[in-house]
Every structure is written in structure tokens, then in C-alpha cells.
Amino acid sequence: DQQVKQNSPSLSVQEGRISILNCDYTNSMFDYFLWYKKYPAEGPTFLISISSIKDKNEDGRFTVFLNKSAKHLSLHIVPSQPGDSAVYFCAASAGTYKYIFGTGTRLKVLA
Amino acid sequence: GAVVSQHPSWVICKSGTSVKIECRSLDFQATTMFWYRQFPKQSLMLMATSNEGSKATYEQGVEKDKFLINHASLTLSTLTVTSAHPEDSSFYICSATQDAGGPADTQYFGPGTRLTVL
């Protein structure tokens, strides 16, 4: 049973436009959410996180939105840059160290 | 930022042999290290959590006698796949945190190790 789902395996966006990556979850006990970025041959790197007491967290070009009623979170990248091309994983935690990861979305930003 | 390395980056072994994978935190002391496994087109699955000097905590369904974890120091954890079989072929990735291992503590990931068992 996949508790964290990233239904879009890939996404292509033009440079300068907005990239929106989506993530859905099923476990209402999740209270902490993260986004990681992964380049080929490298480990995932932490990007941004949000706790369930907030509905938005912003860090530079990256903003994460959380809709608890819909059990949905999204990552917005504005403006998108070619260097943002990577695989993005969302992850969720239910108050413990155990992260449940989605399957990832491959973002390609076209120059 | 915090750097985590893994060695080897890839390994091919014969069925029945054992393989050791090292995970090192290079510029920080890792109080807690995590081992994940990723099958193709699937998500990262947590296998076990280890704290320096104590026994690892394994996730349900992970055989502790098959996947031996040793966290001997604050900068090194090892995963040994014993009596490897082809179904153990996977991408193994470790992460480390320098904090207490709670949910808000950032996990820093290594680059992963690709294991292929023939």
C-alpha cells in the first residue's frame, strides 16, 4: 500500500516558467512533510519541509503548499532553471524518524 | 553542507557471498544513521535505523540476520548483506542525521550503492 504517491513520473517545463510537483498521501497521521531533490549518481538532498500546523512554507524559489483536508502537498519552483532538472521525492513522517517516500517525479527544465 | 559518502558505489557478487557497504559522515558526527533500499521505479524503503554503539532497529519484514548493521563510531555505519541472492539486488542508500533522530532532523543522504547479485 503506497501511502505517499507521486502520480506524475515526469514533468517538462520551459525555463523561467513555474514547475509544480504534486504529492498525495493517505495516512492522516502524517504531520511532517519534506521534499528532496536527487541528481544522477548522487544521494537525495534536502530541499524544503513543512509541518502540518502550516499550509505554506517558502524558501527562495521553492514553496511547498500543504492541503491537509485533501491530503495533498505540492512543490512550486519559480522561476524554473535548467539546474533544477532532477528527480524530486516527497516524503512524510508521522511524528517519528521514519520517512515514507513517494516514487519520485523527474523534472526536466528546458532551456 | 553535511556530506555522507558510501563505498563502494557499485558491487557485483556471486550468489551466496557476503557484501559489506560502508556509510560515512565526512564532516559531522552522525548520532543516527538510516539504511534504505530502492527497487527500480519504487520509492526508498527504510530498512533499519542505527545509533552509535547500540543495536540497530529493523523495520518490519527486514531480516536482521541477513542485513547486518554495525554503527561502530559516530562517523561510520556498515551494512553487510549476508549470503546474498539475486533478489537482494537493489540500490542501497544510507542517510545520517547529526541530531536526535526526530522527524524534524534533516537526513543527509549518501550517493547510494548499486548491488547486483549474480
Place of cell 552522525: B30
Q: Do A97 and B32 touch (CB under 8 A)?
A: yes
Mean pLDDT of the region A66-74: 96
Tell me what the pLDDT averaged over chain A comes to.
94
Rounded CA-CA distance A29/A94 in Å is 5
Q: For residue B114, report the phi and psi dihedrals to the nearest 5 degrees.
A: -90, 115
The stretch A51-60 carries a mean pLDDT of 94
pLDDT value for B103: 60
Calpha distance A39→B105 (Å, rounded)? 22
Look up residue B28 and give its three cell numbers: 559531522
- Would you state the pLDDT for residue B34? 94
Q: pLDDT tens digit string along A77-96? A: 999 999 999 999 999 998 77
pLDDT for B35: 96
- Does B76 contact A at CB distance below 8 Å? no
User: Is A45 in Cβ contact with B104 (below 8 Å)?
Assistant: no
* Residue A82: count of CB within 10 angstroms of its CB: 10
pLDDT digits (tens, 9 = 90+) for A20-43: 999 999 999 999 999 999 988 788
Cα–Cα nearest to A107, from A41, A37, A57, A46: A37
Residues 6+ apart with CB under 8 A from B98: B2, B25, B28, B29, B30, B31, B105
- C-alpha to C-alpha distance for B105 and B25, rounded to whole angstroms: 15
Q: Does A42 touch chain B (CB under 8 A)?
A: yes
